[in-house]
Structure 1
């Protein structure tokens, strides 16, 4: 059977090209997702500050609720500190030297009075300089009121040994003498300032705690054994960079999650595309299979032949596609770097594991698709074989139709979810509802397209001459073929439109609610945050009311049955005096009762968790520390303020910076405010501010655009592939039309009419698939049935799909007409 299958593949190379391309591209996409996922665990950037350390010990940032499975976890947004006493435990390991490190925000004020902020800047204790290692290029180690600058920062500040520099940490700038200039190998991603041990501990503001502990002279396993049960993370090798750079740690977590979800979509789309392509390939060979059945081939032999042929093609395509996935993975990494999601120097980790996994998935998907496609040609009776081959079966299976209509009903029902659940979850449900509708329309496509064609065809026949008559006759008799061409175009349009406008509508809703919620006259902001003392000082100014605003996150866990779902949610910290500056649209309780140890909940979230004023709610702060707080209020403006509003003191205490994100102010005159801000370089007074930092959602939006763009690229290839295959298979039909007197131009116009009908139906169905969930989402979020966002994206999606469909059909038609009719009529299918 293998020999026969190989001969068939070689003899019908053109017939298998479509399946080959679909499997190759699908495997490449899945392999790229696998590489990104592996990089989320093993990738990173070269470590710098810990380059000389064998092991780095940091706080555990992974939150794992009790009762959850291995995937029930979330990555804390802030790096938790660890007890300084752990250094003594580590030092007990034979040969180990434990070096505690303090890390805190510290910015040098330039000669122009503005902070030097070309890169993130942090202060450290001088003892930790050995971990890089930083070596003194000039000068001596720092003493009291002295500082050692790294060489790059010293050059930027124009400060040499003995110079006086102003440095701002969490208060007004203080003047320090530059005791020395240190240098480390490699390109620095962060600026470093070193203070003596006493001053560094004072500036860090965390008694008996440190940011990390670097270990020299010991391996990770021994350190892990000593620290078992201390809830810390022990990093070595490439993982040290995640302990050093907060963006690398977040990138690794983000890549693992993104690649998992994106890879799931990629696998589903790949299976769909491969299945439809193989079904078309098998359908075009129906005469061949009919002949085999007529001469005695059994159904099992037909299925085995198709399966072996598919295996041969899929293995070759899968191997090439897996290797191509390396290039696709690097392309995605570069795209993520351009939008600021991945650091420019983040290196991918590439091993055979994702490549082999992609190959297995590609071959398995092809085999399943081949089994499904082979059922019909192998199940017909030998007596009916030739007749079945000559006339295309028009009825669609009852089971297929039942499943399709059920999915459409489920999809329509799911579109109503955003009326009850807002925010990112509502937007995600709109996308899922659209996908369910698309799958349902795919299954019922022949019926839906057939009904549409019966209405359109008579109009075409009367209004477009011979070409219109021929096109109408073709689509009436071959509505299933038309449906196969319409479906991928509909998928491309619907998927692109829903993904884009669901995010733009959510963004508009956040902006709309924020404008309603912020009632403060002014806001004080800074480059790296606002010292907490600014809010306290502002409150003491006559005629000024102020509140701290601390943007943060919390991690929640909810249990449904045996499943534990862990989520990171946006949150804010406010003072109890915030009532005059923000409008949370309080439902119950009072924001005036917001004190340390209490929390306010979004009304929808409180209802979902069955919490009311006076109850206690459990969650985790941004640094992964468990919290159990009393609910003092519920509110409706959760898009602007997140699901949790904490006291500013609690929120600030669980951030590494220990500062406010902004200070909201009510004041008729800004003179005193300007004077206050002038004491802190980098602070400025502006008009109002968005309550919630939506940078994470903006990042997610950009990620979605990249991911959707890649999937749409694959869908575009499959669309072109399908249209070219289905058109090329009509060579004998074109030859027969020409032999009976139809002109070449008439056939071209006929196909052009069919192409316009194809893209027109795809545009209408794709728009309907997107319009229903988007309209309901818009009503739920912004009170209008029209989604927010530029209409040009929708028109561009329609134009792109139309261009793709028309060009694919036109090119394949002209190529099919190049042969002489008398030669083409004798070609086999």
Structure 2
């Protein structure tokens, strides 16, 4: 069987090339997705400041698979002494990092302030001594005896330079903790070991002495130094899971369509095999062996460009700020093996399903059907196809109208695949109907007749193009709908006359000073964070991360319009929360309900819901009391201060004391740059590129295999221009059906997504973007049929008739 399968593949290289390309590209995508997931689980960067410490102790940032606290979880200062007592520890350094500004004649220069004891982790002293008093500093680039001004959150304090260092600024350990806003906490404990001490053994002893803390070695130490490393890994896990699941389904559909068309074109061969006594089992074994040989080679070769694709993705993700610049992906064997196995299994399953009819049909019926497709579709196929349409519509529109929240959005987004499968099952019927409509508009007899007679083959070839149009519309217009709504909410809801911002943040005390400034009628500080919400989803416990803001209720209505639907924001005090309409649907809460949260640094927070508002996309799904949020962020600073007033001349003078702070208008502050949306769009474009390749691949296969048919038409008197005219008519059927059906398939999911996230049924569909999707579909469909048809007409008719199918 192996020899026969290999000879068949060699004899039908053109037909099998299409299946090879489909599996090859599918394997590349699966490999890239696997590398993303593997990197999210195991990758990172090398430590910098902690490179001299073989062991680093930090509080746990991870909550569960793919979930972590957004703010730094600090350690109690007592942990430093606990670690120092472990045998083998030469020194335990309680490290704190504070973002500050070094004021000078030309403005404020960013500088990171640490505690004096952590100087031994870096270059140490160059001159002088380390600080011993709260107003002393050791500073790079300064001179002993100088007086400098260090500002944290735009609040400056004078310091006397008592030493110079190779880099950074160092104050006493106590002063560093005070500047961080957590006098009894440290960021991490860097462990310096006695000479000859094994790092792994020391880490094991520290875990026993300090239970519950993360004890890190190797590159994992960078997790304690750079919070964005852990956040990047969590992000990669999430996008690999969501992107990989959709991608697997699409790869399966594309491979199934390609193999199905390849096997349909071999019906005469299978008919002859059945007529000379080949059993259904033998035909199935032949198809399985062919598919196994082809898919194995294609999957192995496809994994190589898949690895190369990950380098491009890493560069793009770093450019969008999704991962740090020096974050490296893990290139292990597991993603490659998983891609090869998945691709082979998917191809083998698709091939056996496609060969089922050819293997089971009787020899006499096989010979009768070798040249003519069965006139009707199977009852099971029709029932399943028509049943999936109302199911898809119910998922896309019904859930947002009844449930709401994340479940509704997920159901609406996933319904596009259900509807695409329905269209694939009903494709021959739908294409026949399209040909009938176009026939009445002057399509041409041959084109209409051929489409009706070959509806199965044309349906298999058209399915990827329909899927491409539908997915492109859903993915792109979902982003335009959500981003457009978020931008509108931010612009319409931000009522402030001025917005104060500063690099690194603004100290809460600044807001008090601004309020006392003449001409300012309201000053509302805003702090942004991410919180984890615990709720019930379909009866099961769930924990998800949501954007949150902390504000003060006093003067809030003058600077911010959250589109309050129920409740009151005046009651926003400690122990309360306001929730967006979308989030309320997800959590199943309303005014008066209790919500269980974990704040940015992991602190539990039980909150009573006091308000439900509509502008969640523009300002975050949760609004908390300002002091609650600020007390549990890494910096303990505000991100901005929203101002309302009648005269800001006095304010401009007051801000001269805070050179780090800049005043901007509300419109500029409302402008958003969502890197996550850009990453989502990038991954979807990669997926759409795969679908585009599949469309060209399968349409070229379907057209190039008709050499003998074209030759026969020419032998009975048809001229080449008439054959080309027929193919243009068939191309019109394919393109029109793909654009119309793909657009119709995209409508219910987009309506459902728009209802779920914005409350309006009409999604944001920029006309130029839709025309671009249509133009690409027309170019792919028309070019993949017209160009191969021209090549197929080149051989002389008699010579072409000698070519086997």
Give distance in 2, aligned partners of 1:209 and 1:739: 89
Shift of 1:52: 1.2
SS in 2 for 1:639: helix
Shift of 1:316: 0.8
Give distance in 2, aligned partners of 1:576 and 1:175: 34
Whether 1:647 and 2:625 are equivalent positions in the alignment is yes
**2:310 alignment counterpart:** 329
**Please, which moves more after superposition, 653-662 or 203-212?**
203-212
Whether 1:244 and 2:222 are equivalent positions in the alignment is no
SS in 1 for 2:579: strand
**1:219 alignment counterpart:** 199
Give distance in 2, aligned partners of 1:123 and 1:252: 27
SS in 2 for 1:50: helix
**2:5 alignment counterpart:** 5
CA contact (8 A) 2:58 2:188 kept: yes
Shift of 1:774: 2.6
**Please, which moves more after superposition, 345-354 or 589-598?**
589-598
Cα 1:436–1:149 shift into 2, 3 Å = farther
Give distance in 2, aligned partners of 1:523 and 1:80: 29
**2:102 alignment counterpart:** 108
Give distance in 2, aligned partners of 1:599 and 1:459: 61
Give distance in 2, aligned partners of 1:767 and 1:298: 44
Shift of 1:313: 0.7
Give distance in 2, aligned partners of 1:631 and 1:387: 71
Show CA shifts across 1:305-335 (max 9, x none). Answer: 1001111111111111122221011121122
Shift of 1:588: 4.2
Give distance in 1, aligned partners of 2:638 and 2:245: 39
**2:216 alignment counterpart:** 235
**1:166 alignment counterpart:** 149
Show CA shifts across 1:732-786 (max 9, x none). Answer: 1011112122222222232223223311221111222223433454466667665
**1:470 alignment counterpart:** 446
Show CA shifts across 1:116-149 (max 9, x none). Answer: 35xxx43211222333x33445554344434344
Give distance in 1, aligned partners of 2:409 and 2:227: 29
Q: 2:361 aligns with which of 370, 380, 403?
A: 380
**1:58 alignment counterpart:** 58
Show CA shifts across 1:443-464 (max 9, x none). Answer: 1111122222222224335xxx
Which residues of structure 2 form unaligned runs of 5+? none
CA contact (8 A) 1:579 1:592 kept: no
Whether 1:254 and 2:242 are equivalent positions in the alignment is no
Whether 1:826 and 2:802 are equivalent positions in the alignment is yes
1:333-732 matches, within 5 Å, as 333-416=314-397, 417-419=399-401, 428-461=410-443, 468-542=444-518, 544-560=521-537, 563-577=540-554, 578-606=556-584, 609-688=587-666, 698-732=674-708
Give distance in 2, aligned partners of 1:684 and 1:805: 54
Give distance in 2, aligned partners of 1:612 and 1:777: 22
Give distance in 1, aligned partners of 2:339 and 2:755: 41
CA contact (8 A) 1:93 1:223 kept: no
Q: 2:768 aligns with which of 783, 788, 792?
A: 792
Shift of 1:196: 2.5
**1:770 alignment counterpart:** 746
SS in 2 for 1:231: coil
Give distance in 2, aligned partners of 1:800 and 1:633: 46
Give distance in 2, aligned partners of 1:694 and 1:88: 45
Shift of 1:8: 1.7
CA contact (8 A) 2:535 2:596 kept: no
CA contact (8 A) 1:640 1:690 kept: no
**2:116 alignment counterpart:** 126
**Please, which moves more after superposition, 511-520 or 797-806?**
511-520
**Please, which moves more after superposition, 641-650 or 24-33?**
641-650
TM-score of the two chains, using structure 2 as the length reference: 0.93
Show CA shifts across 1:67-115 (max 9, x none). Answer: xxxx4x62211111011111222223321232110112212234322x3
Q: 2:170 aligns with which of 174, 180, 194?
A: 194
**1:40 alignment counterpart:** 40
Shift of 1:668: 0.7
SS in 2 for 1:645: strand
CA contact (8 A) 1:421 1:604 kept: no
Q: Provide the aligned C-alpha RMSD in A.
A: 2.5
Shift of 1:692: 8.6
Cα 1:361–1:221 shift into 2, 3 Å = farther
Show CA shifts across 1:368-417 (max 9, x none). Answer: 11110110100101222211212111322222222222221122122324
**Please, which moves more after superposition, 751-760 or 246-255?**
751-760
Q: 1:141 aligns with which of 122, 130, 137?
A: 130
Give distance in 2, aligned partners of 1:772 and 1:610: 24
Show CA shifts across 1:330-352 (max 9, x none). Answer: 12112212222222221111111
Which residues of structure 1 form unaligned runs of 5+? 65-70, 185-191, 462-467
Give distance in 2, aligned partners of 1:285 and 1:497: 35
Give distance in 2, aligned partners of 1:55 and 1:692: 43
Shift of 1:693: 9.4
Cα 1:780–1:242 shift into 2, 3 Å = closer
1:152-163 matches, within 5 Å, as 154=141, 159=142, 163=146
Give distance in 2, aligned partners of 1:396 and 1:181: 84
1:808-823 matches, within 5 Å, as 808-823=784-799
**2:68 alignment counterpart:** 75
Report the number of matched residues: 795
Q: 1:318 aligns with which of 292, 299, 322?
A: 299
**2:92 alignment counterpart:** 98
CA contact (8 A) 2:57 2:189 kept: yes
TM-score of the two chains, using structure 1 as the length reference: 0.91
Cα 1:632–1:202 shift into 2, 3 Å = same
**Please, which moves more after superposition, 503-512 or 599-608?**
599-608
CA contact (8 A) 1:457 1:476 kept: no
Shift of 1:587: 4.2
Shift of 1:509: 1.8
Give distance in 1, aligned partners of 2:380 and 2:175: 75
CA contact (8 A) 1:569 1:642 kept: yes
Give distance in 2, aligned partners of 1:90 and 1:6: 66
Give distance in 2, aligned partners of 1:779 and 1:259: 27
**Please, which moves more after superposition, 718-727 or 596-605?**
596-605
CA contact (8 A) 1:44 1:238 kept: yes
CA contact (8 A) 2:257 2:461 kept: no
Give distance in 2, aligned partners of 1:472 and 1:633: 61
Give distance in 1, aligned partners of 2:618 and 2:125: 49
